[in-house]
Amino acid sequence: MVQRLPACLHGTLSGSVTRVFPACRAGRNLKRPHHMSPRDKQNLYHSLAELLRAGLTFPRALEKLKVTQRGSSRQVVEKISQEIARGSTVAEACASARPVISAMEGAVLTAVERAGSLDRGLEQLSQHFAAVATARGQIRARLAYPAFLLGLGILLLNLPKILNAGVQGYLRTVGLLVGSILAVLFILNFVRALLANAVTFSPTAERFVRALPLVGGMQRAFAMSRFCLAYDLQLEAGINAIDALKASAEASRSGLVRDRVRSILTQVGQGTQVGPLLADGDAFDPEVTQAIIVGEETGRLDRELQRLATEQDQKAFARLDALAEWGPRIAYLFILIYLGYTIVSIYANYLNAVLKIGE
């Protein structure tokens, strides 16, 4: 069992993740980190989990890692260490490092810390960011050639502009095309971030995301995995079903799951089994609710939840791999269509010019 650190303040479960606590105000002048790559997070969470399993307390584990960290990773470790030294819990200390430590990470850490199983939560986060880092690397590697081809095509296929509009006209055209592409990429990334945040609170936004090929299945599987892991840890720690469901819904980072759980709490308090209540609606994967019902009937809910957490993780990672495989191919297809259209347009213009001369 991982040592529970003393808390200087007590608030609601969601509040411990989403606000900066009074005891932490003295640390606001500390330079805030700006960014950690998924690979950096993977290494940090894995190292912390291993040190906790070896028997070190969380503050001691942070001190051990501090000397090996660089840049934003070191700033995050120092920030968390200072907040813990002031009496904050791990979840509260991590909340003070936002936005580098995301709300999703904070929710998972809150749930597992409350259950006294920080090492398992940290290891799950490590696996999550390992998969994200691998997929991101694959996408970038597979997009390198299409991006090069697109850049070369823009430069070469617009060379005739020099004859018609001069060098300045050529540079203006190339600059406009490159700027338009960058603007589209920026908008797409902004929409992605907006939707990623919206699915946490909006069932409508989550239904839209779930309808997207690959992305929807991946988002749902990750939400199911986080819910099952947190629910299992809460029940193992002896936490009552209502509080366990609340914590697990927060950890899922799913608006649909949060709404569904909120709607059944009264019935759960009256003694109704959780599984059949979760099965209504579209918030939960039918495989998940079926396994929960079986676990409740057989008295082996803990085993079912552990199996579900692993299987849903694998399902999410499989969809992430597919996205990394097909995303660049789709981008390559659009690039080829653009280059083909540009080449046809150039030849069409030359043909029109030749016909006019012939007339």
Per-residue pLDDT tens digits for 282-299 = 899 999 999 999 999 999
Task: Name residue, tokens 């803990």.
Answer: 302
φ and ψ of 13, to 5 deg: -60, -45
More confident residue, 102 or 37: 37
pLDDT band for position 187 (cuts 50, 70, 90): very high
pLDDT attached to residue 208: 93
pLDDT attached to residue 34: 58
In this structure, how many other beta carbons lie within 10 angstroms of the beta carbon of residue 22? Answer: 9
- Do 215 and 344 have their domain in common? yes
Which domain covers residue 188, as residue numbers? 137-359
Which tens digits make up the pLDDT trace of 302-350? 899 989 988 998 898 888 888 888 888 888 888 888 888 888 887 777 7
Q: Is 201 helix (H, G, I), strand (E, B) or coil?
A: coil
Q: In percent, how much of the chain has pLDDT > 70? A: 89
- Do 177 and 284 have their domain in common? yes
pLDDT attached to residue 343: 82
Rounded distance between C-alpha atoms, residue 97 and residue 346, angstroms: 53
Residue 145 is classified by DSSP as H
- Do 96 and 22 have their domain in common? yes
- Do 97 and 143 have their domain in common? no
Task: Name residue, tokens 């009074």.
Answer: 22
In this structure, how many other beta carbons lie within 10 angstroms of the beta carbon of residue 180? Answer: 10
- Do 46 and 169 have their domain in common? no
Q: What angle do CA 209, 214, 216 make, to 5 degrees?
A: 25
- Do 271 and 342 have their domain in common? yes
- Do 142 and 58 have their domain in common? no
Domain count across the chain: 2
pLDDT attached to residue 289: 94
Rounded distance between C-alpha atoms, residue 188 and residue 6, angstroms: 43
How would you label 271-291 residue by residue, b for 16+ Cβ within 10 Å and e otherwise?
Answer: eeebbebbbeeebbbeebbeb
Rounded distance between C-alpha atoms, residue 20 and residue 283, angstroms: 31
pLDDT attached to residue 274: 93
- Do 173 and 243 have their domain in common? yes
Q: Minimal CA–CA distance to 91: which of 30, 4, 27, 200?
A: 4
Predicted model pTM: 0.68
- Do 141 and 244 have their domain in common? yes
Name the helix (H) or strand (E) containing 84. helix 71-85
HSE-CB at 324 with a 13 A cutoff on CA atoms is 17
Last residue of a domain, one of 73, 101, 129: 101
Residue 99, preceding bond cis, omega within 30 degrees?
A: yes
Rounded distance between C-alpha atoms, residue 245 and residue 284, angstroms: 13
